[in-house]
Chains A and B, each alone.
Chain A
């Protein structure tokens, strides 16, 4: 083997090993994150975390019950806004629209999807907080809902379009109306994909902090109804991690563990649903 070839082989092996190292480093970040959260969060998580209100400054103990309920309420509002618009909009795009309207709607959705979350927060502030002079659960949920729309819309549309044309034609040939076809053939055929889309959109906004800081604000106590400022897990993590108290740091780790656990589980479930295939064979 001549030296030139030997050198080229060496370079090849070396560089390919390096790419392996890159992949290893990139993936190991996930396990570093999980490791730290389980280690720090695990020792500070206890029953009080889920049932008690935050302790006043200076006292140890307490929990984040209000933030957990607050996050749940925010996500409920977000889902009520994001899913219907995303889902029905996708049905229009996939089943009814001409290409021009579809282009405009897709373009708008992509624009919305690419907007930084903090800008969405400003938008919600201008639209909901400012007119009512109130930070509220509704405003925070609205901001998160806006973020859910494009994710739900775009992926639902793709899954609807993936339903084989033969199925549509079969239903039409049997004399079903368009609406009947959508209702009984297309949506059931694509339901796994649609479910995945909704779950992923949900998981994506569940951890969003930036749009909540000046819409839902935060609250050390219970938030009653829908028009009061409310605590939420992500904002709580943010505030507690930047505080000066060790006990609050521990709480932040615990909240991080709960939040990340929830998000990763939803992601894994969503991918598991999808990996079993959409329920009809592709044409």
Chain B
């Protein structure tokens, strides 16, 4: 992550003024052609991916139209497919995960960028990078064996006793469900928020901090009222990035969400998500319409993450360009 986000001086292609024939003889044109084919294949694969998703869901799109997003019947036997419970589950779990991950992640990023000495900050960032490398199925295993029992025995009863008057925290505590999936997702996306936010905070010019301190603000005031607002767009970018990860996350969610296509207000109730239903049913889906409905869900997921990733990239780029070139802390 840190390797890909550092900005490096660009040294564009150097063009010789030799004739086409001599370039051909020395192999330049051949190499150019070969490498071009490989580069073009990346574009081709991407186009093919979008095409397959679009084409593969044509039947379902025509049959259900926009009702696909409004109905919640998922019945393979009678070939009635509505995607609402899955879209709902995906959105709710992602929202819960962001509610937990954003404060924690930004807090940690502030500590790493503003307070910790460079050596401590770099060491912690190293651990954070390792955390980002942990595969999602491992988070799933920990979710199943540790988070689910914890939620069932301690967290959910405690929430019910204190905040039980809210419809969000009612109903039996199964352990699995929206809340648990949200917690596991939060643990998974925190490293992304920290890494990107830390980079963005570090790119805020030193003068900004010094000016605030010189005006008599405390360390926290200079951080919260000057540095963080300066880095606001970049931090938003990191949150969008985390949201895109959370939406598309499959294994960990599948293992702890309960896999029941219901729409309930309670966060304790088991649910389902787009990625989870694809993971569970795609291999066994029989019948054209069934498969196509699942592919349409995949298309929805792809478009959501595509939009969020695009927004994230624009936001992060704007901030780091504005700040770079000045002295870093």
Contacts and interface: CB of A to CB of B under 8 A. Distances in A.
B154 interface: no
Interface stretch (A42-50, A56-64, A219-227, A236-244): A236-244
Nearest to B241: A114
Given A16-B219, A259-B135, A22 B248 contact: no
A155 B49 contact: no
B255 A210 contact: no
B249 to A, nearest CB: 8
A283 B31 contact: no
B26 A180 contact: yes
Interface string A176-201: 01111010000000000100110010
Contact of A12 (B8, B108, B145, B220): B220
Contacts of B137: 207, 209, 234, 237-238, 241, 256, 259
Interface string B80-109: 000000000000000000000001111110
A9 B218 contact: yes
Interface string A27-63: 1011011001100100000000000000000000000
Band of interface residues on A: 35 or more
A68 interface: no
Nearest to A117: B250
B111 A252 contact: no
Given A92-B32, A115-B302, A209-B250, A105 B53 contact: no
B221 to A, nearest CB: 7
Q: Classify the interface of chain B: helix, strand, loop or mixed.
A: helix
B111 A19 contact: yes
A254 B200 CA distance: 38
Given A92-B39, A117-B250, A179 B8 contact: no
Given A158-B4, A271-B129, A88 B302 contact: no
A209 B108 contact: no
Given A165-B11, A179-B28, A92 B38 contact: yes
Contact of B13 (A96, A259, A274): A96
Nearest to A217: B283
Nearest to B136: A209
Contact of B49 (A92, A94, A115, A208): A115
Contact of A33 (B31, B49, B134, B144): B134
Contacts of A159: 8
Interface in A151-177: 153-155, 158-159, 161-165, 168-169, 172, 177
Nearest to B7: A158
B116 interface: yes
Interface string A223-264: 000000000001001100110000001001100100110011
B210 interface: no
A267 to B, nearest CB: 5
Contact of B130 (A37, A217, A264): A264
Interface stretch (B71-79, B155-163, B186-194, B231-239): B186-194
Best-buried of B8, B32, B144, B221 by chain A (most CB within 10 Å) = B8
A8 B42 CA distance: 55
Nearest to A203: B133
Contacts of A123: 48-49, 52-53
A269 interface: no
B297 to A, nearest CB: 10
Contact of A114 (B108, B219, B294, B305): B305
B23 interface: yes
Interface string B120-161: 000010111111011111111110111000000000000000
Interface string A76-114: 000000001100110111111100010011001111101
Interface in B227-269: 244, 247-251, 255
B158 to A, nearest CB: 18
B175 interface: no
B108 A19 contact: yes
B214 interface: no
B42 A112 contact: yes
Contacts of B39: 88-89, 92-93, 97, 101, 105
Best-buried of B137, B139, B298 by chain A (most CB within 10 Å) = B137
B64 interface: no
Contact of A23 (B124, B133, B251): B124
A9 B115 CA distance: 15
A84 B38 contact: yes
A135 B282 CA distance: 13
B306 A111 contact: yes
Contacts of A89: 35, 38-39, 41-42
Contacts of A196: 3
B259 to A, nearest CB: 10
Given A26-B108, A92-B38, A264-B130, A125 B282 contact: yes
Given A93-B39, A110-B313, 12 more contacts: A26-B108, A88-B38, A88-B39, A89-B39, A92-B36, A109-B42, A117-B248, A118-B275, A123-B49, A127-B52, A178-B16, A207-B137
18 contacts: A16-B111, A22-B106, A26-B105, A26-B194, A85-B42, A88-B39, A89-B35, A92-B35, A109-B46, A111-B306, A115-B305, A116-B250, A178-B31, A179-B28, A204-B133, A264-B133, A267-B133, A268-B130
The 5 lowest CB-CB distance pairs between A and B, nearest first, are A207-B135, A116-B248, A22-B107, A177-B26, A92-B35
